[in-house]
Amino acid sequence: MHDFELMISQRSKAIDVSGIRRVFELGAKLKDPINLSIGQPDFPVPETLKEAAIEAIRQDKNGYTLTQGVAELRDAINRHLTSDIGWDMNSSDTMMLVTSGTSGALLLAVQALLNPGDEIIAGDPYFVVYPSLAELCGATFVPCDTYPDCRMTAARVEPLITDRTKIVLVNSPGNPSGVVLTNDELKDLVDLCKRKGVLLISDEIYDEFTYEDAREDGRCPSPARFDDQMLVVRGFGKSYGCTGWRMGYVAGPASIIREMAKLQQYTFVCAPSMSQYGLVGVFDVDMTSYVEAYRRKRDMVIRAFDGVANLATPGGAFYAFVEVPESMGLTATQFVEKGIEQNVLTIPGNVFSKADTHFRISYATSDDKLEAGLEVLTGLMAQVASAT
């Protein structure tokens, strides 16, 4: 018999999923939980997009596509980028690549850029996958402490930059906090990265889900409006309810994107064909009513915790990152376990952070479930407040 344990690479072993696995195991025991842990929207894919994907399958468009993506979708994305961030997508210095999800774009980016020993900085709390992106390359993940406001500002990043820093990765609207940085803050990050010779990567997967109060000139703030010498990564899964379609894209300097396309050719090959055809008309779909519905849910969350617990005001995505009141004397993991005992599932902060002081709520659920879940969570907090 082989000892398969011994065969597993150091690279794979270095990735620790114990925190999130524990939550899922606890959650799996619940019969009909109030699930505030899910990182995807609760609305269906718009009908026109479904029809376009089905039609592509029927028309036998089921083979490999060009690794860069099908022409119709590429044209649509390039037009969108030009109108949204002002990049000249016809320039030979700038390129765009359609990828298998935003995850695909991020993985290709780090694989194309990071050598062992290089450093990548991202805000703490961070999207759960970011540290492992570094580990997969033998690089070092450098968390930038952004507590309590979850804003990764240039002032917080600058002291962390060393001569091994290659990438600063910014995520706004952010997972797990929903916090949206301002154009001024993002411009400062652009300037810092330029001055230090570091590449800025902007993960904008939640850009569509930015609420009116966090928008500037009607749009989600983006560092890409100040510079095209960076990578902008976006996706369709969250914005259009099609996370399983595995669709994203990345745009930036041609010399980097060409390397990423080469790696994609030899790994993912291409993004799923029916998903690409399904999304050709995506920029004509109006998601305003869904964004408005999530804005209302965001307001429900803010109201529920007002005067009860601290949270950085979410300006987008569908998350809130709530601090467990200190008076409870509990880690976030312990608090989340108490919630689970009452059938409410959230995710403890140590999954997204070096700290275990906050928990993430996803409010991408029905108003009734959200209301019921918030009642349980704030009720747990109130019990302690009245006992002390």
Given the rule CB under 6 A, which residues bind ligand PMP?
39, 101-103, 127, 171, 175, 203, 205, 235, 237, 243, 248
State the minimum distance, in angstroms, from the CB of residue 306 to ligand PMP.
26
Q: Over the range 356-380, which residues count as b (16 or more CB within 10 Å of their CB) and which as e?
A: bbbbbbbbbbeeebbebbbebbbeb
- Angle, vertex CA 264, rays to CA 40 and CA 71, nearest 5: 80
End-to-end CA distance of the chain: 59
* Residue with smaller CB distance to ligand PMP, 205 or 322: 205
Closest CA to 358 of 379, 387, 328: 328
State the minimum distance, in angstroms, from the CB of residue 270 to ligand PMP.
15
* Residue with smaller CB distance to ligand PMP, 180 or 381: 180
State the minimum distance, in angstroms, from the CB of residue 271 to ligand PMP.
10
* Residue with smaller CB distance to ligand PMP, 103 or 273: 103
Residue number of the CB atom closest to ligand PMP: 101
Closest CA to 312 of 175, 156, 143, 160: 175
State the minimum distance, in angstroms, from the CB of residue 150 to ligand PMP.
13
State the minimum distance, in angstroms, from the CB of residue 104 to ligand PMP.
7
Q: What is the 3-state secondary structure (H, E, C) of 110-153?
A: HHHHCCCCCEEEEEECCCCCHHHHHHCCCCEEEEEECCCCCCCC
Closest CA to 269 of 60, 62, 107, 66: 66
Rounded distance, CA 245 to CA 239, Å?
12
State the minimum distance, in angstroms, from the CB of residue 388 to ligand PMP.
36
| CA 322 to chain CA centroid, nearest Å | 18
Residue appearing with tokens 């999130």? 20
* Residue with smaller CB distance to ligand PMP, 131 or 235: 235
Rounded distance, CA 211 to CA 216, Å?
10
Q: How far is CA 319 from CA 37, 177, 215, 311, 359, in A?
A: 9, 6, 17, 11, 10
Name the amino acid, one letter, at 12: S
* H or E, element range at 101: helix 101-113
Q: What are the residues whose beta carbons fall under 8 Å from the beta carbon of 56, sequence distance 6 or more? A: 62, 273, 274, 277, 278
* Residue with smaller CB distance to ligand PMP, 229 or 243: 243
State the minimum distance, in angstroms, from the CB of residue 58 to ligand PMP.
26
* Residue with smaller CB distance to ligand PMP, 127 or 321: 127
State the minimum distance, in angstroms, from the CB of residue 249 to ligand PMP.
10
* Residue with smaller CB distance to ligand PMP, 103 or 264: 103
- What is the β-pairing status of strands 34-35 and 94-100? unpaired
Per DSSP, 166 falls in state: E
* Residue with smaller CB distance to ligand PMP, 39 or 272: 39
* Residue with smaller CB distance to ligand PMP, 280 or 351: 351
How many helices (H) and strands (E) in the chain? 15, 12
* Residue with smaller CB distance to ligand PMP, 46 or 237: 237
* Residue with smaller CB distance to ligand PMP, 207 or 328: 207
Rounded distance, CA 10 to CA 138, Å?
10
State the minimum distance, in angstroms, from the CB of residue 235 to ligand PMP.
4
Name the amino acid, one letter, at 226: F
State the minimum distance, in angstroms, from the CB of residue 105 to ligand PMP.
8
